[in-house]
């Protein structure tokens, strides 16, 4: 077991660090992730459940990436962005789930200070990127439904690459800002984090000083990265619904709603849990409830995304059949 040395007061802690911007030396040994150890009767069931879901996440998202690369019919803007979303989900869930499975299976639940900061940064960067990428995907659906004759002109490959790059850069910039604000604060008290990964709201509870000023800045950043994209997506779908209702063909309406409905379901699952978690003050954040909500958006949603997008998709089904027939011919 790692040994820890903690300061008894904020003043002593500030003396050890020199400034609030330096490494919190009292936490150099690391943290203990409590995880679900306070519900030991659930740990085996959670280990099995999460292992299955993680395996399905890896398989489903990897399949989408491979299919979108190999099948020419899937070389469209929609599947270009879906490939990015699948890659994001692979990285997003991998940033937390392996650590969780280790903690559920073994007795050593420690994570180093550097490992915690890295996990915090990567997880937040990927989550922020997904927020922005879902807006881009909503814009793609808006162009496909509301501007069908000009769709390929609007969604030029160069524009698609630019929008994807903006999503990644914006997500990582947001993570740099919020990680810097969080880790610049002096930490003291218990080294136990009542979560299964280094969650921002849980780390903030270890701050020695008044965090109100920092929380205001971080709340503004979260509004920009969550509420603004959600509002843009909602606006785009209002326009999409208006356009679809003008279509005389019932089959055309059904196809448009089917294509866009899958994206809207993904958005609802992702933004619903994220807004519930991050748009509440730190002092009323329930760590016990937060762990179970986090399970949903770190384990369940990344597994569901490939199914939601491809379950009723004829192009993907055709690509799978084509790939399987090639495999048979080779054998």
In this structure, the number of other CB atoms found within 10 A of the CB of residue 291 comes to 21
Higher pLDDT, 301 or 254: 301
Q: How far is CA 211 from CA 12, 17, 116, 215, in A?
A: 18, 18, 20, 6
Contact present, 90 and 61 (Cβ < 8 Å):
yes
Please tell me the least confidently modeled range out of 73-77, 113-117, 268-272, 315-319.
315-319
Q: What is the pLDDT of residue 61?
A: 93
From CA 271, how far away is CA 267, in angstroms rounded?
A: 6
* Domain membership flag for residue 194: yes
Burial class (CB in 10 A: 0-12, 13-18, 19+), 170: buried
In this prediction, residue 6 carries a pLDDT of: 36
| Residue of 201, 190, 35 whose CA lies nearest to 102 | 35
Residue 170 lies in a domain: yes
In a domain, 330, yes or no: no
156 found inside a domain: yes
What are the helix (H) ranges across 71-156?
A: 77-94, 97-105, 113-146, 151-154
Q: What is the C-alpha to C-alpha distance for residues 47 and 36, in angstroms, rounded to an integer?
A: 10
Task: Work out the average pLDDT over 243-254.
Answer: 76
Per-residue model confidence (pLDDT) at position 275: 86
187 DSSP assignment: B
Is it the case that residue 22 has pLDDT exceeding 70? no
pTM of the model: 0.83
Q: How far is CA 148 from CA 152, 155, 259, in A?
A: 8, 11, 14
Number of domains in the chain: 1
* Residue 214 domain boundaries: 26-312
Taking only the tens place, the pLDDT of each residue in 201-214 is 888 888 877 777 77
Question: Measured in whole angstroms, how far is the alpha carbon of residue 90 from the centre of its chain?
Answer: 10
- pLDDT given at position 251: 72
According to the model, what pLDDT value does residue 45 have? 92
Distance, CA of 197 to CA of 195 (rounded, Å):
6
Residue 21 has pLDDT above 70, yes or no: no
- φ/ψ of 29, rounded to 5, equals -70, -25
In this structure, the number of other CB atoms found within 10 A of the CB of residue 287 comes to 15
Nearest of 306, 239, 247 to residue 63 by alpha carbon: 306
How many other C-beta atoms lie within 10 A of the C-beta of residue 44? 11
The lowest-confidence range among 23-37, 87-101, 121-135 is 23-37
Instruction: Look at residue 279 and tell me whether its pLDDT is greater than 80.
Output: yes
pLDDT tens-digit series, residues 109-126: 888 888 889 999 999 999
When pLDDT is cut at 50, 70 and 90, the band that residue 10 belongs to is very low
List pLDDT tens digits, range 208-231.
Answer: 777 777 788 888 888 899 999 999
pLDDT in tens, 128-174: 999 999 999 999 989 988 888 899 899 999 999 999 999 999 999 99
**Looking at the chain, how many residues does it have?**
331
**How many Cα atoms sit within 13 Å of 227 on the Cβ side?**
11
Residue 28's pLDDT is what? 62
Mean pLDDT of 5-18: 38
91-98 mean pLDDT? 93
Residue 210 within any structural domain of the chain: yes
Task: Output the average pLDDT for the chain.
Answer: 81
**CA dihedral of residues 80, 135, 166, 84 (deg, nearest 10):** -30
Residue 204: inside a domain, yes or no?
yes
Distance of CA 203 to the CA centre of its chain: 18
Contact 297, 226 (CB under 8 A): no
User: DSSP E strands: which ranges in the chain?
Assistant: 31-33, 110-111, 192-193
**Is 249 part of a structural domain of the chain?**
yes
User: Which residue has better confidence, 159 or 200?
Assistant: 159
Classify residue 248: in a domain, yes or no.
Answer: yes
Tell me the two tokens of residue 322: 């084509």
Tell me the pLDDT tens digit for each residue of 55-70.
999 999 998 898 888 8
Tell me: the pLDDT tens digits for 304-327? 888 887 766 676 767 767 766 665
Q: What CATH number should be reported for the domain holding residue 108?
A: 1.20.1070.10
Predicted pLDDT of residue 26: 55
Q: What is the pLDDT of residue 17?
A: 40
In the predicted structure, residue 235 carries a pLDDT above the cut 60: yes
């Amino acid at each position: 077991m790692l040994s820890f040395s903690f300061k008894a007061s904020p003043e002593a802690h500030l003396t050890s660090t020199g400034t609030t911007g330096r490494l919190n030396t009292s936490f150099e040994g690391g943290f203990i992730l409590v995880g679900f150890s306070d519900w030991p009767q659930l740990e085996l069931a959670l280990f099995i459940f999460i292992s299955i879901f993680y395996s399905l996440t890896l398989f489903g998202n990897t399949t989408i990436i491979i299919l979108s690369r190999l099948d020419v019919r899937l070389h469209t803007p929609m599947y270009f962005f879906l490939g990015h979303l699948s890659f994001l989900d692979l990285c997003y869930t991998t940033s937390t789930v392996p650590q969780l499975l280790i903690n559920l299976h073994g007795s050593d639940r420690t994570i180093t200070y550097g490992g915690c900061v890295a996990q915090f940064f990567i997880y937040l960067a990927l989550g922020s990127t997904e927020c922005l990428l879902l807006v881009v995907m909503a814009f793609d659906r808006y162009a496909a439904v509301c501007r069908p004759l000009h769709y390929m002109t609007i969604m030029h490959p160069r524009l698609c690459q630019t929008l994807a790059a903006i999503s990644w850069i914006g997500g990582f910039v947001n993570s740099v800002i919020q990680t810097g604000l969080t880790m610049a604060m002096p930490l003291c008290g218990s080294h136990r984090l009542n979560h299964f990964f280094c969650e921002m709201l849980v780390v903030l509870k270890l701050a020695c000083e008044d965090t109100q000023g920092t929380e205001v800045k971080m709340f503004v950043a979260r509004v920009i990265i969550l509420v603004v994209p959600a509002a843009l997506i909602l606006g785009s779908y209002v326009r999409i619904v208006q356009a679809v209702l003008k279509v005389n063909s019932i089959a055309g309406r059904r196809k448009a709603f089917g294509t866009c409905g899958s994206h809207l379901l993904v958005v609802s699952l992702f933004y619903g849990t994220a807004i519930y978690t991050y748009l509440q003050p730190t002092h009323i954040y329930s760590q016990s409830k937060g762990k179970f909500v986090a399970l949903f958006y770190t384990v369940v949603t990344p597994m569901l995304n490939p199914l939601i997008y491809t379950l009723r998709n004829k192009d993907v089904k055709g690509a799978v059949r084509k790939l399987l027939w090639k495999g048979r011919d080779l054998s």
